Chains A and B, each alone.
Chain A
Amino acid sequence: MTEIELLSWARGPGLQIATIIFVAGVVIRIFEILLLGRKANLAEAKGAEMSNGLKTMVTRTIPDPTTFKRSSVTIVSGYIFHIGLFVVCFLSAPHILFLKDIIGFGWPSAPTAVIDAFAVVTIIAMLATLINRLTNKVMRYLTNFEDLLTWFLTFLPLVTGYIAFHRIGLTAPSLLAVHILSVELLLVIFPFTKLMHAFTLFIARWYNGAISGYRGVAS
C-alpha cells in the first residue's frame, strides 16, 4: 500500500468506521444512563432540584480547598492539559476546517506559533500526570490498565499531530496518516472507557447538585 493510499483510507473508510462506533457508543450509553430513571424520592423536597443541579454543573469547576491540597498535582496538570487540548483541537485551522465540514460552521483560528506553544505545554502537562500517577503511592495503588490505556490513547494523537506538523522522521503523507489513524483509534475505544466523562461529567455534576438541592444542603 502506498503512503497516499493509506492516507486516503484513513480519511475515508477509516473515519467512517470510527465515527459509527464512536457515535453509536456514546449515544447508547447516554440513553442508557438517562432512561434508567431514578427511584421516586418519597421524602418532601426541601429545595429546588433543577436550579441547584444546573448551578453545580458550573461551580464544580472550582475544586474545594481540601481536595486541592490533597491532589494539587493532579488538578493543576489536569487543568493545563485539558485547556491545552481544547486550544490544539478546536483552535487550529486544519481541525476547524474538519469540524466545519461536519457541523456546517467554523470559527477563526489561532496562529500556528500559538498552537505549537500550547501543544508543547500540553505534552509536558500530560507527561506530568503520568509521572504523578506512577510515583504517588496512592495513585499507583489505584491505577489499573484502563487508566494507562486512556492516557496513551489521548497522548498519541497529540504527539503524532505535533510530529506530523513538523515533519520529523517519516515523510509527510505517512505522518499525517498515522495522526489520523491514532485519532480513529481513540474514537473507537472511547465509548468503552472512562473517557466517557467528557459527556457524563455534566450529567454527574447535575445529579449531585440535584439530590443535594432536593435535600436542601450545599453541593
Chain B
Amino acid sequence: MTKDVRLQGGEPEQAPEKGTPEKGTLGEALRSQGVSRRSFMKFCATTASMMALPPSMIPLVANALEKAKRPSVIWLSFQECTGCTESLTRAHTSTVESLIFDSISLDYHHTLQAASGAAAEAAREAAMEENHGNYLLVVDGSIPLDNPGYSTIAGISNLDMLKESAKGAAAIIAVGTCATYGGIPHAKPNPTGAVSVNEIIKDKPIINVPGCPPIPVVITGVLAHYLTFGSIPELDHIGRPKVFYGQSIHDRCYRRPFYDKGQFAETFDDEGAKKGWCLYKLGCKGPTTYNACATTKWNNGTSFPIESGHPCIGCSEPDFWDGGGFYKALSLPTEDLSKTAVYTAAGAAVAGVAISALNRAKKNTSNKIHIKTTIDDLRK
C-alpha cells in the first residue's frame, strides 16, 4: 500500500510499503501506515502525558517526533522471568503504545521474534554492524558471573553477549530490577553470582528502569523520551529517570492523610483495611521506595498495589528482596530484639553479681588495710 506523501511544504515522496522496516523519519513511517495528522496529534498528546511532560510541550513533542529517526533497538533477555517483556507487551495491546514499537525498529527480541537459532543471531549481528554507534540496547534480566554456563543464548554466555552488544550501542536501557540492580537472582545467597548491567558496562550511558516489573508506561515513556529528544532523561544517583522515580510512593500516596492522622490497618481484613487506611503497619515500604506507582498507576491508571489493599514491597529499590520482609513494618527490627535483650539482661545480671562480689571484696580489703589516723600522726 503506497501513498503519495506530501508533507507541509515538502516534495511528494514515494512512501515505502507497509511492513518494510524503513529507516526514515517517524513522521514518514506513521503517514505511510495511514495515520492521519489528527491521529498523530492524539499520539503526541498521549506520549507527552506518558513522559510526564506538561501539555504546553505537546507541540514540541509533535515537532520532534515528526522528524525523529527510527532507531534500531536490540533487546537482550538474560536471567529474568520475562515479566518485564510481559509488562511491556501488555502495553503493546494499546494502539498508541504499539506505535512506539512501530516507530522503533525492534531488530532483535529472542522471546518475541519468530526467528530463532543461528539465523536470528546472524540478524542481530547484522543489525549491530549496520547501526554501529547508533542502536539502542535494551536489557532485562541479570548476568551470572559465577559460571557463564548458567545462562546462555545460542551458546553465547550472557556476559559475552552483553559486552559484545554494548560496544556499538548509543545507550543502554536496563529494564527491570534484575538488570538494574540484580533483582531476585541477586538475593541472598546469590547462587549464580548475578550482577546488574551497570556492574559490567562502565563506558556507555545506562538508563535504569527498575521495578518488578516496571510500570509499562514508564518503559515506553523512557523509549519515547529517547525518540523525541535523542538523549537520555535526567537521572538520579542510581541511574533512574527522575521524571518517573523522583518521588517516593509515600509522598504521593492517596492514603497519606490516614498515615498523618494515625489511622492504620492492623491486619488484612480488619475495619481499618476495609476503610482503606494506611498500610504502614502491614509492612508498606512506600516511605523508602521511589517509583511512579502512586501517580501513574498500573493498567492505564486502574490501580496500584496500595490502592488494591497490599502494602508496597519496594520493588524498584536495590536489594528489596533482602529488605527485611515484605510484611515487617519499616520501623521494626529485622531480627528478634526482645530475645536478645532478655538473654543479655540475664547474662548481665550474672556478670553484675560477679562484679559486685569483686567490688565488695575490694571494699572489705580496703577497710581492713585502712590504718586509722591518730593524733600522733598529725603531730608528726
Chain A interfacial positions (CB closer than 8 Å to B):
2-5, 7-8, 11-13, 15-16, 19-20, 23-32, 35-37, 93-95, 97-98, 101-104, 108-113, 167, 171-173, 176
Bound-complex Cα distance A8 to B337 (A): 14
Contact of B324 among A11, A20, A93, A108 (CB under 8 A): A11
Interface centre among B262, B349, B360 (most CB of A within 10 A): B262
- CB pair A35 B352 closer than 8 Å: yes
CB-CB under 8 A for A93 and B264, given A5-B322, A36-B356 = yes
CB-CB under 8 A for A103 and B324, given A31-B352, A94-B331, A167-B251 = no
Residues of A contacting B359 in the complex (Cβ-Cβ under 8 angstroms): 32, 35-36
Residues of A contacting B356 in the complex (Cβ-Cβ under 8 angstroms): 31-32, 35-36
Residues of B contacting A13 in the complex (Cβ-Cβ under 8 angstroms): 335
- CB pair A103 B338 closer than 8 Å: yes
Bound-complex Cα distance A176 to B317 (A): 14
22 contacts between A and B (CB under 8 A): A2-B181, A4-B317, A7-B324, A8-B322, A8-B334, A13-B335, A23-B348, A27-B352, A32-B355, A32-B356, A35-B360, A37-B360, A93-B259, A95-B331, A101-B337, A101-B338, A102-B337, A104-B338, A167-B248, A171-B236, A172-B288, A176-B288
Task: Please give the distance in Å from B294's CB to the nearest CB on chain A.
Answer: 14
- Closest residue to A28 on the B side, CB-wise? B352
Q: Is the interface of B mostly helix, strand, loop or mixed?
A: helix
Number of A-B contacts (CB under 8 A): 147
Bound-complex Cα distance A102 to B285 (A): 21
Residues of B contacting A20 in the complex (Cβ-Cβ under 8 angstroms): 340, 344
Tally of contact residues, B, Cβ under 8 A: 51
Bound-complex Cα distance A108 to B281 (A): 13
- Closest residue to A33 on the B side, CB-wise? B356
- Closest residue to B347 on the A side, CB-wise? A24
CB-CB under 8 A for A4 and B332, given A28-B352, A35-B360 = no
Contact of B329 among A35, A94, A111 (CB under 8 A): A94
Bound-complex Cα distance A11 to B331 (A): 8
Cβ contacts B178-201/A at 8 Å (1 or 0 each): 000100000000000000000000
- CB pair B320 A4 closer than 8 Å: yes
Residues of B contacting A101 in the complex (Cβ-Cβ under 8 angstroms): 332-333, 337-338
Bound-complex Cα distance A152 to B283 (A): 32
- Closest residue to B323 on the A side, CB-wise? A4
- Closest residue to A175 on the B side, CB-wise? B288
Confirm or deny: B233 has a beta carbon within 8 angstroms of a beta carbon on chain A.
no
